[in-house]
Amino acid sequence: MSKKTYILENLGCANCAAKIEKKILELPGIEEADITFATKQLRLTADHPDHYIEQIERIARSVEPDIRIRERKGRNAGTKIHEHNQCDCDGNHQEHCSCGGHDHEHSNCGGHDHESHDCGGHCQEHGHIHDSHPAHKKEELAILFGSVFFLIGVFLPDYAPFPANIGIFIAAYLILGWNVLKNAAAGFRNRQIFDENFLMSIATIGAFFIQEYPEAVGVMLFFRIGEYFEHKAVEKSRHSIMEAIDMRPETVSLVKEDSVFIIPAEQAMPGQILLVRAGDRIPLDGTLIEGTTRVDTSAVTGEPVPVSAVPGDSLISGCLNLSGLIKMRVDKPLEESMVSRILECVENAAAGKPKMERFITRFSRIYTPIVVIAAAITAIIPSILTGDWSYWIYTALTFLVISCPCALVLSVPLAFFSAIGAGSSHGILFKNGLSLEAIRNIKTIVMDKTGTITKGTFEVVEIIPLDSDYTKTELLSLFASCETASNHPIANSILTYAREENISYLSPEQTEEFAGLGIHAFLSGKELLCGNRKLMEQHHIDCSAFVPSSYGTEVILAADGHLIGILHIEDMVKPESKEAISQIHQMGLQTAMLTGDHESNARTIAASTGIRTVYSRLLPEEKLITLRKIREKNGAVMFVGDGMNDAPVLAGADVGAAMGNGADAAIEAADVVFMSKDLMAVPQAIAISREAVRTAKQNIIFALIIKALVLILGFLKYANMWFAVFADSGVAFLCVLNSIRILYKFKK
Answer for the pair 448, 644: CB distance below 8 angstroms, yes or no. no
Contact predicate 476/567, CB 8 Å: yes
For the CB of residue 433, give the shortest distance to ligand ADP in the complex, in Å.
30
204, 368, 450, 684: which one binds Mg ion (CB under 5 A): 450
- Residue 516 as a binder of ligand ADP (CB under 6 A): the answer is yes
Helix or strand or coil: residue 84? coil
- Strands (DSSP E) contained in 140-268 are 251-256, 259-264
Q: In 3D, which of 153, 180, 703, 715 has the Cα closest to residue 398?
A: 715
Count the Cβ atoms, other than its own, within 10 Å of residue 691.
19
448 catalytic residue (yes or no): yes
| Residue partners of 520: CB distance under 8 A and separation at least 6 | 511, 512, 513, 514, 527, 528, 529, 535, 539
Q: Is 531 an interacting residue with respect to ligand ADP (CB under 6 A)?
A: yes
Q: Which stretch binds Mg ion (CB under 5 A): 444-452, 461-469, 516-524, 664-672?
A: 444-452
* Binder of residue 555, out of Mg ion, ligand ADP, none (CB less than 5 to 8 A by kind): ligand ADP
- When binding is defined by CB under 6 A, the residue of 490, 558, 627, 669 that contacts ligand ADP is 490
Is residue 423 a contact partner of residue 615, using CB atoms and an 8 Å limit?
Answer: no
Segment near ligand ADP (CB under 6 A), from 45-53, 167-175, 298-306, 517-525? 517-525
- How distant is the alpha carbon of residue 400 from its chain centre? 35
Pick what 553 binds: ligand ADP, Mg ion, none; C-beta below 5 to 8 Å, kind-dependent. Answer: ligand ADP
Q: Is there a contact between 29 and 71 (Cβ–Cβ < 8 Å)?
A: no
Contact with ligand ADP (CB under 6 A): which of 285, 437, 597, 654? 597
Per-residue contact string for residues 440-469; x = within reach of ligand ADP by CB under 6 A: --------xxx-------------------
Stretch that binds ligand ADP, among 336-344, 430-438, 589-597, 671-679 (CB under 6 A): 589-597
Least separation in angstroms between residue 450's CB and Mg ion is 4
Q: Which amino acid is at 378?
A: T
Q: How far is the CB of 655 from ligand ADP (least distance, A)?
A: 19
User: Which of residues 285 and 597 has its CB atom nearest to Mg ion in the complex?
Assistant: 597
**Binding-site residue total for ligand ADP (CB under 6 A)?**
22
Q: Does 452 engage in binding with Mg ion (CB under 5 A)?
A: no
Strands 637-641 and 672-674: unpaired
Nearby residues of 374 by Cβ (< 8 Å), 6 or more positions away = 399, 711
Among the listed residues 280, 448, 571, 646, the single catalytic one is 448
> By CB under 6 A, is residue 552 in contact with ligand ADP?
no
Show the binding pattern over residues 36-75: x = contacts ligand ADP (CB under 6 A), - = does not: ----------------------------------------
User: How far apart, in Å, do the first and last CA atoms of the chain sit?
Assistant: 42
Choose which of 530, 558, 611, 640 interacts with ligand ADP (CB under 6 A): 530
Residue 121, CA distances (Å) to 89, 386, 611 in order: 8, 62, 60
What size, in residues, is the chain? 748
**CB under 8 Å to 359, separation ≥6 — which residues?**
none
What SS3 state is found at 46? strand
CB-based closest residue to ligand ADP: 596
Q: Whose CB is nearest to Mg ion?
A: 450
Question: 659 forms bridges with which residues in the sheet?
Answer: 674
- The CA distance from 141 to 91, in Å, is 12
**Footprint of Mg ion (CB under 5 A):** 448, 450
**Footprint of ligand ADP (CB under 6 A):** 448-450, 483, 486, 488, 490-491, 516-519, 530-532, 553, 555, 595-597, 620, 645
- Active-site residue numbers? 448
